[in-house]
Amino acid sequence: MLQINYSKKFDRNKYYEKISKKRFHVNIKDDNGTKIIREEFKNIDYFLDKKTVTLQEIYDKFKELKKDNFHTLFKDISFKCLVIGNFRTLQKIKERVDTSEKIKENKSIKFIFHYTDLRETYISRFFEENLDISVCYYCNIDYINSYNVEKKKKNKFTLDHYYDKSTYPYLALSLYNFVPSCYACNSKLKGTKEFKNLSPSSVKFDFDQKVKFKLFLTDSCKDLNIKEKENIDIKLKEQYSNEYKKYIEVFQLNSRYKAHKDIVFEMIEKAELYPESRLKELQDLTGIPYQEIKKDIFKLIDDNVDLSKEPFSKLKKDISKELGII
């Protein structure tokens, strides 16, 4: 629902350095405590005289030696491009690289792009430290912020793979394939579902411009004379296209927001209590410009404000326009 606004401190090169330099021991211990060479490095002379190797080294050497068809699959695609290429780059890679069952089971791909080993120590920590995460980017309903516990940083967000990591294992570490989201959106609703349109990580993600919350009233309501919240309904309506129809359906946004009609009802009640004439009376009494008084009463959200900092911010902004408050 909300585009991710990456700050200047979100340095993708730092992320690449962390991931590419992740080290693996060439030798491991078997059940008897005897050192043996890792299965992935067997019969490759380059690895035999090394104690540890980096992910970058492994990827490059696998391509050079044509291991598991790496040279064909990732022709002209660098490890750096896979790790920190922007969303458009990931789309192009996805279109080029095979996604057959054979690729999904490719042991070398699964080994290099194994997400679980890096999730807590590298990836989640990078997002904690370099992106000011407050609210789920998919639904704008739940807080997913970080917090400190006993001098350790914890977070409430999950990192969704926009392109599912089981279908596209080579995108499992891709920085712009991650969308910080709440548990409900990631695990209960989206799962492995795929969208044809853009990710919130794309600079061209325009959900906020194309899709707006609209207010609907029952026939009993006249001139916004609404007595109870059951007389109102709110729905997301897309303008001029159906690009985000599946997005709205998958995340069940209309039904989830229906449970929060009280927010809109309160806005309507305030609109009745504080018409323009009343606001100007308050201005005369206090000396405070009525626009500032209005902003404080209605908790108005400006168009240029980052909506990802507060739950229900898009709902409040869109309905404020519907009610003519802004």
- Structure-token pair, residue 252: 């069940």
The model's pLDDT over 51-73, given as tens digits with 9 standing for 90+, comes to: 888 999 999 999 998 888 888 88
Indicate whether 117 pLDDT > 70: yes
Average pLDDT, the chain: 86
The model's pLDDT over 211-239, given as tens digits with 9 standing for 90+, comes to: 999 988 776 666 556 667 777 889 999 98
Percent of the chain whose predicted confidence (pLDDT) is above 70: 92
What pLDDT does residue 324 have? 83
Indicate whether 81 pLDDT > 90: yes
Domain ranges within the chain, ordered by starting residue: 12-190, 207-322
**Taking the chain, what is the end-to-end CA distance rounded to the nearest angstrom?**
22
The model's pLDDT over 140-151, given as tens digits with 9 standing for 90+, comes to: 999 987 666 666
What pLDDT does residue 18 have? 92
What pLDDT does residue 101 have? 64
* pTM assigned to the model: 0.87
- Structure-token pair, residue 187: 């695990």
What pLDDT does residue 251 have? 96
Nearest to 50 by CA among 27, 79, 30, 19: 27
Indicate whether 261 pLDDT > 80: yes
* Cβ contact 177:202 at 8 Å: no
